[in-house]
Amino acid sequence: MVSFLHQDPEALALGVPLPRSTRTIWKVLRAHGRIASELPPHHQPLVPPAPLAELQADFTDIGSIAAEPGGKRQHAVEACFFEEVGSRRVPYLEINADLHAETALAAVIACLRRTGLIGKLTIDRDPRWVGSPSGRDFPSALIRFLLCLGITPSVCPPRRPDLRGYVERLIKTYQTECVLVEHPDTEEAAREVTEAFLRHSHAQRPQQGRGLGNRPPLVAFPTLPTRPPLPERVDPDRWLASIHGQAFVRTVQSNGSVVVDHCS
């Protein structure tokens, strides 16, 4: 820019010292409004869904309970929270020393027996939910179960906790206001302090979310709509409708094993 300015006949005819630094030119252009300034970021607040339209679920360690000596796990007991996004209630909570894929699926079923068939369940890529963190393997039992019920499984991509921000906020509050204060040292003690925490959170603790207006969940939503109940029998092949028409790549590896959709 500066080199072209020193070759401009009109600029040379002015007989004035010409700037030799691009910084000076930028100052002149900015002073005359020729450079648009960056607009401040505009944050659009999230609009909460209707009650019983979405559940968010996540695990958290109860670190005050010591693990078994010589065990491989850092913490002995975990809590699995299910938060109803629209009303910010926790319809179901599972505290267990052995939360694996089977018990996690049982917890989902127990939660749905209380809430009925919700519209969407948002989870992360924990192997207990999705089987394989990469998502390339056969759909997990939980994913197929949800699809058979007509519930949309929303699996958050890696490093995106903001997509399940409601349950993340709940767990943060639970850890700072319950676990770090009460220090439960047994599984039974963890259940007692957690139930007390949820009673206070539901009935007394004001929530600053847009849908609650600085009121406790039971005050903002004293009643919830009725959802269809969990059926006694489920068509085990209904989930296939979600992949109907899709193409999958089958690759035979050197050891003779077959990988399905490894390239997707």
* Same-domain pairing of 137 and 86: yes
Is the pLDDT at 263 greater than 60? The verdict is: no
In tens, the pLDDT along 18-70 reads 777 778 778 888 888 888 777 777 777 778 889 999 999 999 999 888 877 66
Is the pLDDT at 121 greater than 90? The verdict is: yes
Q: How far apart are CA 122 and CA 91, in angstroms?
A: 15
Q: How far apart are CA 260 and CA 264, in angstroms?
A: 9
Q: Is residue 59 part of a domain?
A: yes
Q: Is residue 43 part of a domain?
A: no
Give the model's pLDDT for residue 244.
82
Mean pLDDT of 80-85: 96
Give the model's pLDDT for residue 264.
39
* Same-domain pairing of 230 and 160: yes
Q: How far apart are CA 195 and CA 217, in angstroms?
A: 15
Alpha carbon separation from 148 to 137, 151, 218, 228, 238 (Å, rounded): 18, 8, 32, 14, 5
Q: Is residue 120 part of a domain?
A: yes
According to DSSP, the β-strands at 250-252 and 258-260 are antiparallel
Q: Is residue 155 part of a domain?
A: yes
* Same-domain pairing of 60 and 183: yes
Is the pLDDT at 156 greater than 90? The verdict is: yes
Contact between 111 and 55 under an 8 Å Cβ cutoff? The reply is: yes
Residue 95 belongs to domain with CATH number: 3.30.420.10
Contact between 162 and 52 under an 8 Å Cβ cutoff? The reply is: no
Domain holding 167, by residue range, is 54-241
Mean pLDDT of 213-235: 93
Alpha carbon separation from 122 to 54, 65, 84 (Å, rounded): 7, 28, 10
Percent of the chain scoring above 90 in pLDDT? 56
* Same-domain pairing of 155 and 207: yes
Is the pLDDT at 111 greater than 60? The verdict is: yes
* Same-domain pairing of 232 and 159: yes
Burial class (CB in 10 A: 0-12, 13-18, 19+), 125: middle
Q: How far is CA 206 from the centre of its chain?
A: 22
Q: How far apart are CA 145 and CA 238, in angstroms?
A: 9
Mean pLDDT of 175-182: 95
The continuous run of DSSP H or E covering 55 comes out as strand 54-61
Give the model's pLDDT for residue 192.
97
Among 37-46, 139-148, 240-249, the range with the most confident prediction by mean pLDDT is 139-148
* Same-domain pairing of 190 and 86: yes
Residue that wins the pLDDT comparison between 157 and 5: 157
